[in-house]
């Protein structure tokens, strides 16, 4: 990141073939930040969930780690590729490894992942159709070359259709309202380890792809030249914020609550991207980086709780604060970041988004942002109220039970039948230590905001005001 900020973008020609004939990988300020945070997120999850992987994926640990590395490869590749078709190939690697990761942990995940597979395939097909239309008109797939060749024919119907299809495909893949229904069940019924890896990464990388399309392939002049489309997408982001908040309020399962919050976070970034201003795009990119860290923090906390409790319905958290103070305290830092309290990273990105929304007079989006933060206060206050003030009833604890999150035994570890003695304590040291580091990272990113803004700004075209 320092090299990019000081010396400009880094370009790598795969096998020595230059664009547009060959595939190139290009790192500028925007994807350098995304690349770094995704790598750190993956490191935290892989290093901090080993005991959980051994329990949740007993006998399948090699498969889990192989799929995790494939998923990471796909996410990072999508971030740095400068070829539109190569991005599709990496999108499929990401998707296929993600489907398998979500499915191998819990029997109840099969139906949810099958639904995700069908919807995800539709999204990828839309993106591929869009790329095909661009190739028909331009004869190239390199993003920078596409930008040059699209400019004279930007308003032709084929180009506009390709743009719309590519954006629609990514909206489906990131679970933006109204094409969001696949996400809550897919992440809720999966293992805590798979959700901890994919939850902070997948939706954010899809948002990055949209940013890359807007900034590089089509350029802001063309992407923001259709007020009807930009207004529609800002409203879609606004609706996503509200729908995610309502679904989170209705959730009885802690992990489902977290997955519904992801829907709202996607709405923040989609709305910010399509405000069409430099501040809006900066806020969206800044929130992308910060939200990845916030999300991995709360999901790692959920993994610790699942490891000790066996399941995490909200009512199962009674007395958790007294028995697992470090886990709950670290989760509180992630919660504060999601609410948007300074000096955490969540505050600064929301501040940029709020200012951009006010400047563009998108008051519904601004109100949705504020209401979502208030809902997050209510959600996490409810969690901590149960964990701190409500004592655990005798015979209610699961200790380190082998129950799955769907309430069924997975056949590993000591089994709780709902009448075991309470043996609730902190998760293994490796899990708690990484959780603490992730919580600290939420604060550290807040202090690094000026540097991150400079890094992101270096990748934005001067025509974006």
Q: Has residue 406 got a pLDDT over 70? A: no
Residue 463 covered by a domain: no
When divided into structural domains, the chain yields a total of 1
pLDDT at 297: 96
Average pLDDT over residues 68-79: 95
Cα distance between residue 268 and residue 259, in whole Å: 15
- Domain span at 265: 2-457
pLDDT band at residue 392 using 50, 70 and 90 as cut-offs: low
**What tokens were used for 282?**
């900066």
Q: Is the peptide bond before 196 cis (omega within 30 degrees of 0)?
A: no
Per-residue pLDDT tens over the stretch 127-160? 999 999 999 999 999 999 999 999 999 899 999 9
Cα distance between residue 269 and residue 211, in whole Å: 10
pLDDT at 393: 54
**What tokens were used for 326?**
């470090």
Per-residue pLDDT tens over the stretch 311-323? 778 888 888 888 8
pLDDT at 463: 83
Q: Has residue 348 got a pLDDT over 70? A: yes
Q: pLDDT above 90 covers what percent of the chain?
A: 72
Per-residue pLDDT tens over the stretch 425-453? 888 999 999 999 999 999 999 999 999 99
Residue 22 covered by a domain: yes
Average pLDDT over residues 443-464: 92
- Rounded to an integer, what is the distance from CA 166 to the centroid of its chain? 19
Residue 318 covered by a domain: yes
Residue 465 covered by a domain: no
Cα distance between residue 224 and residue 221, in whole Å: 6
Residue 274 covered by a domain: yes
Per-residue pLDDT tens over the stretch 16-29? 887 788 889 999 99
Average pLDDT over residues 74-78: 96
**What tokens were used for 425?**
């304590």
Residue 106 covered by a domain: yes
pLDDT at 438: 96
Residue 464 covered by a domain: no
Q: What is the mean pLDDT of the chain?
A: 89
3-class SS of residue 464: coil
3-class SS of residue 257: helix
pLDDT at 462: 87
First to last CA, the chain: 24
pLDDT at 318: 84
**What tokens were used for 426?**
């902190």
pLDDT at 419: 35
Cα distance between residue 383 and residue 313, in whole Å: 10
Q: Has residue 38 got a pLDDT over 80? A: yes
Q: Has residue 244 got a pLDDT over 50? A: yes
């Amino acid at each position: 990141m320092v090299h990019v900020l000081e010396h400009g973008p880094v370009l790598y020609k795969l096998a020595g073939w230059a664009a547009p004939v060959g595939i190139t990988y290009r790192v500028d300020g925007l994807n350098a930040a995304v690349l770094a945070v995704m790598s750190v997120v993956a490191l935290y999850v892989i290093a901090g969930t080993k005991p959980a992987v051994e329990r949740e994926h007993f006998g399948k640990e090699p498969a889990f780690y192989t799929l995790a590395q494939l998923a990471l490869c796909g996410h990072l590749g999508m971030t740095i590729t400068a070829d539109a078709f190569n991005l599709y190939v990496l999108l499929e690697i990401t998707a296929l490894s993600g489907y398998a990761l979500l499915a191998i942990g819990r029997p109840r995940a099969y139906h949810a992942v099958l639904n995700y597979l069908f919807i995800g395939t539709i999204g990828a097909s839309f993106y591929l159709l869009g790329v095909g239309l661009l190739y028909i008109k331009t004869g190239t797939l390199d993003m920078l070359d596409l930008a040059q060749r699209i400019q004279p024919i930007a308003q032709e119907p084929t180009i506009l259709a390709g743009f719309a299809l590519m954006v629609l495909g990514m909206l489906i893949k990131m679970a933006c309202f109204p094409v969001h229904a696949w996400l809550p069940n897919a992440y809720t019924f999966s293992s805590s380890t798979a959700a901890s890896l994919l939850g902070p990464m997948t939706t954010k990388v899809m948002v990055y792809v949209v940013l890359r399309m807007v900034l590089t392939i089509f350029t802001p002049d063309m992407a923001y030249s259709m007020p009807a489309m930009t207004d529609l997408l800002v409203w879609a982001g606004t609706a996503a914020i509200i729908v995610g908040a309502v679904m989170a309020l209705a959730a009885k399962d802690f992990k489902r609550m977290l997955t519904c919050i992801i829907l709202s976070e996607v709405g923040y970034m989609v709305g910010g991207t399509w405000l069409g201003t430099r501040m809006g795009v900066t806020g969206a990119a800044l929130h992308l980086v910060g939200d990845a860290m916030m999300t991995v923090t709360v999901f790692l906390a959920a993994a610790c709780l699942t490891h000790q409790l066996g399941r995490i319905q909200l009512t199962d958290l009674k007395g958790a604060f007294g028995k697992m103070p470090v886990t709950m305290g670290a989760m509180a830092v992630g919660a504060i970041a999601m609410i948007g309290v300074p000096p955490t990273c969540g505050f600064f990105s929301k501040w940029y988004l709020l200012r951009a929304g006010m400047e563009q007079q998108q008051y519904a989006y601004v109100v949705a942002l504020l209401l979502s933060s208030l809902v997050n206060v209510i959600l996490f206050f409810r969690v901590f109220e149960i964990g701190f003030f409500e004592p655990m009833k005798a015979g209610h604890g699961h200790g380190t039970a082998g129950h799955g999150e769907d309430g069924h035994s997975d056949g590993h570890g000591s089994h709780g039948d709902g009448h075991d003695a309470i043996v609730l304590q902190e998760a293994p040291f490796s899990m708690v230590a990484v959780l603490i580091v992730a919580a600290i990272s939420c604060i550290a990113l807040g202090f690094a905001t000026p540097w991150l803004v400079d890094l992101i700004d270096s990748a934005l075209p001067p025509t974006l005001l």
